[in-house]
Amino acid sequence: MDFIKVGAACPKTKVADIDYNIENIKSCIEDGYINGSKILIFPELSITSYTCADLFTQWKLLNHAEQGIKEICLFSEGKDMVIAVGAPLLHNNCLYNCGYIIFEGKVLGIVPKSYIPNYTEFYEKRWFTEGLGLKETSIDLSFQENVPFGTDLIFTCGEIKLGFEICEDLWVTIPPSSYLSLQGANIIANLSASNELVSKSAYRKGLVEDQSGRCMSAYIYSSAGVHESTTDLLFSGHMLIGENGIILNENDRFERENTNIYSIVDIYKLNSERMKNVSFRTSAKLHSTNYREVKFNLKDSGVEKFDRFVDRHPFVPSSEALRHERCKEIFNIQTSALAKRLEHTKAQKAVIGISGGLDSTLALLVAVKTFDMLKMPRKNIVTITMPGFGTTDRTYNNALTLCRELECDLREINIVKACLQHFEDIGHDTSIHDVTYENVQARERTQILMDIANKEGGILIGTGDLSELALGWCTYNGDHMSMYSVNCSIPKTLVRYLVKYVAEKESSREVGETLLDILDTPVSPELLPRDVSGDITQKTEDIVGPYELHDFFLYHFIKHGSSPERILFLACHAFKDEYDKEIIKKWLDKFLWRFFSQQFKRSALPDGPKVGTISLSPRGDWRMPSDASVNTWFK
């Protein structure tokens, strides 16, 4: 069970008019049923309305409210949906503000509000008693006996584990949902009646974001609407659905009709995050509490229409403004890290091999910004272009132009003669363009760079990116090796935006034009001879597949431990207008095979700064045996 559709509802109400309220609640339930929602949350005290005040002490209202719950139970039959509505409950002469959890004609359980606000505009203690500490209790309703009652209830159906709190509970220092999540609840629902004040909605949204993030859960929030009494307060009907720190859906406040919002929640992702997070597991152990499990069984928890947004470029923010902000932050991380290494080693120079491609360009831009920051002359950046058998005029000229425009120490060393000598030494036929032919060039270039770094008293800056490391698309002890690797945790899809960011925001017109042409150049190691027109023949993405697919595979494989079947499903949805299923499956198989077979290269990586949440450093985020078999992932 990976996904489930959930919803929040805000019905029209009339204060203390239970029959009217019930009809509107039914209308929202029907909408939820039609839209395939499996969980639907209503506002606090939605049966009676929240603002009844001293009418809550009227037996007529309380008895009618219980009959209203019974009516909703009858209406819920055959709808295969958990419904949570708010109503008062009188128990042992104490009145509780409760959430009634209803499923298939029955009340599964009743959860009282733990914290009762009684400050500023709130005066709830005049009527209600805190439910805090109410555990291991059952009550009899007029139409159902032995209903679980208390704050210790978690409602479970397979991997779905539901916990409930009510309004103020979210505002306290340690919300009940924190403890519920530690006991396994991965979907938290809040039945609320939060009045509207200037800027309060932003704070409320922040609470939902933060709590869903801390609890590594989904969070469904539904608040009372504009038809509550406006004696002193106004309610806006604010509804939010969050997931692990991100808001999936939010309504327009102040709506006057029955309103529902829905989102598809990723249960698999939430459970995966919890499994990996040691601090979460430790907290669960330290704060272990006895909770009662109330089971229910959905006939079908599947999502009929999968309309959840799946980002095809998960490493790249979709918003341009956010992209620019992210790029600026990444450059700050890269340059600060490189500056620390230069200061520590007391190196006065940096050596970079410049090919005219994206990765070496990004590394050079990082080095230039670092040297400027340290007030070191750019001439101390030794840039070396090393033409070989496949070097094209376009990449060669872009490399020269960029280094000159950035005022670096530019040197050219042609590797053809040295490689031909090496072919002769090892007895390799130069007409055979195999892996030996390619790797001899990569290793010759690395040898030159390493030796010049030694000669100049500098460090060799590595240029390889995260995507290449995932695929093993690098030559062992060739371009795979350096003295410090500044791009090692930046995927190829993000490299493009970083170079574009510098071209548009942080460079002269001349430099910007060169960078834009580099962006337009096909990705290639240029290790095979050019065609008759002098153009690139060896295009990386024709060989290993599109980097946007591989970055997508990498993100979901590492971030959430997703299975090939889940990755394929998500990729087919994200790229449905770009690639068909067979093509995606072909490159996914290629990704998995290369990822497992090339781990030995990642096990011997040089240092480099972690920039995002995904890193393949053998010293940090990814520790995998070099001899691990991929067979299980192909079954």
Quote the DSSP letter at residue 152: -
In this structure, how many other beta carbons lie within 10 angstroms of the beta carbon of residue 182? 20
Catalytic: 167? Answer: yes
Query: Is 98 annotated for ligand binding?
Result: no
- Is 359 annotated to bind a ligand? Reply is yes
The answer to whether 388 is a known ligand-binding residue is no
Contact present, 81 and 48 (Cβ < 8 Å): no
Q: Is 601 annotated as a binding residue?
A: yes
The Cβ-side half-sphere exposure at 126, using a 13 Å CA radius, reads 12
User: Of these residues, 10, 44, 73, 419, which one is catalytic?
Assistant: 44
CB 541 within 8 A of CB 403: no
Q: Is 475 annotated as a binding residue?
A: yes
* DSSP conformation class of 195: B
Phi/psi of residue 623, nearest 5 degrees: -120, 110
In which order are the strands placed within the sheet that holds 381-385? 409-412, 381-385, 349-353, 458-462, 484-485
Does 626 appear as a known binding residue?
no
Q: List C-alpha distances in Å: 492 to 28, 576, 584.
A: 46, 21, 18
Beta strands in 118-271 (DSSP E): 137-139, 147-149, 153-157, 160-166, 187-192, 218-223, 239-243, 246-250, 259-266
- Tell whether residue 353 is among the known ligand binding residues: yes
Whether 113 is a known active-site residue: answer yes
68 is in an annotated binding site: no
Any binding-site annotation on 51? no
Helix (H, G, I), strand (E, B) or coil at 359: helix
Give strand pairing partners of 242: 219, 247
- Which listed residue (10, 28, 157, 167) is catalytic? 167
What strand order describes the sheet that includes 94-103?
A: 137-139, 147-149, 106-112, 94-103, 82-91, 39-41, 3-10, 259-266
Tell me the C-alpha to C-alpha distance, in Å, between residue 613 and each of 26, 95, 499, 617.
44, 48, 20, 12
Check the annotation: does 250 bind a ligand. Answer: no
- Active-site residue, from 79, 113, 161, 500: 113
Is 123 annotated for ligand binding?
no
- 179 assigned ligand-binding residue: no
Strand bridging mode 246-250 / 381-385 = unpaired
Residue 249's SS3 state is strand
Residue 125 annotated as binding?
no
Q: Is 632 annotated as a binding residue?
A: no
Can you give the C-alpha Rg of the chain in angstroms?
31
The answer to whether 10 is annotated as binding is no
Q: According to the annotation, is 119 in a ligand binding site?
A: yes
- The total number of residues shown for the chain amounts to 635
User: According to the annotation, is 489 in a ligand binding site?
Assistant: no
Residue that the structure tokens 């946007």 belong to: 548
| Nearest to 358, CA basis, from 370, 348, 366 | 366
| 506 contacts: CB under 8 Å, gap ≥ 6 | none
473 in a known ligand binding site:
yes
533 is in an annotated binding site: no
Residue 515 CA, chain-centre distance (Å), reads 30
Please enumerate, by residue number, every residue annotated as part of a binding site for deamido-NAD(+).
439, 468, 473-476, 601
**Annotated catalytic sites, by residue?**
44, 113, 167
Sequence ranges of the binding site for L-glutamine: 119, 194, 200
The binding site consists of: 119, 194, 200, 353-360, 439, 463, 468, 473-476, 601
Which parts are annotated binding residues for ATP? Answer: 353-360, 463
